[in-house]
Amino acid sequence: MFDTNVVISAILFRGRLSWLRTAWAKGMLTPVVCRETVTELLRVLAYPKFRLHLDEREVLLADYLPFAETARLPEHDPPLPDTCRDRADEVFIRLAIGTG
C-alpha cells in the first residue's frame, strides 16, 4: 500500500515515483486501499493547488484504483507504533497491520 503523498506523486507528477504507475499497471505490484484511504485520496486530489477538474481527477483515479486490491481496516484498532508522527498516516499503518 502507498500513502496518499506517494500515490499523488505517482499519478499526478512525472517525477521519481512515476514508475509506480507502470509497475501496478503491469501487475508487478498491487496497491492496497480501503474506504478510508480512497476517501483521503479523493480529498487531496480536490485541493485547489492542483487545479484539477472532476473529469481530470476521474482520469487519474482510473490509472490507479482498477489496479488496487480492496481491504477493510481491522474492526479493533491494533496497537500502533509510537513512531507515527502524523495522525493522518495512522490509517495506512492500521491497514498494513490488518492485511499483513
For residue range 50-80, list pLDDT tens digits in order: 999 999 999 999 999 999 999 988 776 656 6
Report the percent of the chain where pLDDT is more than 90.
64
Confidence of residue 89 (pLDDT cuts 50, 70, 90): confident
pTM for the whole structure: 0.83
Chain-centroid distance, C-alpha 56: 17
Give the integer Cα–Cα distance in Å for 81 and 76. Answer: 15
